[in-house]
Amino acid sequence: MGYARWNPSDWKDYASATAARSTDDIFKSRDLKAEFDPSKITVRESRDSAENPQSTAIIIACDVTGSMGSLADNLVRKGIGTAFEEILKRLPVTDPHLMVMGVGDVRCDRAPLQATQFEADLRIAAQLEEIYIEHGGGGNCWESYNLPWYFAAQKTALDCFEKRGKKGYLFTVGDEQIPEDLTRDDVKRAMGLDLQMDRLANRDLLTMVGRQYEVFHLMVEEGSHYRSCGAEVRRGWTELLGQRAIPLSDHTKLSEVIVSTIEVAEGRDKSAVAASWGGDTSLVVAHAVGHLHTGLAKPKDGGVIRF
């Protein structure tokens, strides 16, 4: 998908109309829609087109449990427009194709993962509105942030990688701790696939998805779980991802932090990137990317990141 081009005028009209709508009016779905159900999806494609000849796949996978539904609300009102327009203006990568995912708890929720198409225009907003904000989750101190990794590794196809050897970007976003490793039952329930082992370790899964994607996790510091268990959240994600564990101090600046992370990952100076934003946004961005290495650490084994 992604056979269209971003139009700022269309977004301006959409955002204006959306501003007056309540969250419940925007997100009307009361169950998982079949078209977003990973177990019914064979593949999601990010393909080049005349409008986007050098496509770059970007996945934003947001926790939609508890209070984290505010992440999707911010994206549909503001964040999608910011992500597209700032990438097209700043050009850290070419021709963005965006997929949005909703993340829940594979052990508890009816909809532990939902996945839109890759889109390059306003159609991504219409699909985001169809995401089921379940407000579920369990009492286990984690959500299934590893399901997007598995989906991206097994059920996406990217021209940026297949044609040009250029990785896409995958951002998971939430306030809880790293999830337990995926089990055979988890994968069967969420993905409809048969795992040929009892358990798939997070580090092995990250190595799999790291072949095609630069993977990051944004820790939502405003979240209720983070406020009560922030030290454990930071320690776990930092041990697993290193510098790719990104602190997000203001969820309304989610897209600005994502764009800035891509800029630094692509080789731009992190201080200059932070300073390029105005007001409080520059402080949020500086807090988020301050520990990143410009250009990141490039692997020497054919593009595979060893976490």
- Rounded-to-integer distance, Cα 13 and Cα 22, Å: 17
pLDDT digits (tens, 9 = 90+) for 255-293: 999 999 999 999 999 999 999 999 999 999 999 999 999
pLDDT digits (tens, 9 = 90+) for 119-128: 999 999 999 9
Q: What pLDDT was estimated at residue 297?
A: 55
Q: What pLDDT was estimated at residue 2?
A: 61
User: Are the C-beta atoms of residues 294 and 268 closer than 8 Å to each other?
Assistant: yes
CA distances from 124 to 152, 193, 257 (A): 18, 26, 19
* 302 has a pLDDT exceeding 60: no
What one-character DSSP code corresponds to residue 177?
A: B
* 306 has a pLDDT exceeding 60: no
pLDDT range class, residue 300, cuts 50, 70, 90: very low
pLDDT digits (tens, 9 = 90+) for 214-233: 999 999 999 999 999 999 99
105-129 average pLDDT score: 96
For β-strands 213-220 and 245-248, DSSP reports them as parallel
pLDDT digits (tens, 9 = 90+) for 174-218: 999 999 999 999 999 999 999 999 999 999 999 999 999 999 999
Q: What pLDDT was estimated at residue 66?
A: 86
Q: Which domains does the chain have, with CATH numbers?
A: 8-249 (3.40.50.410)
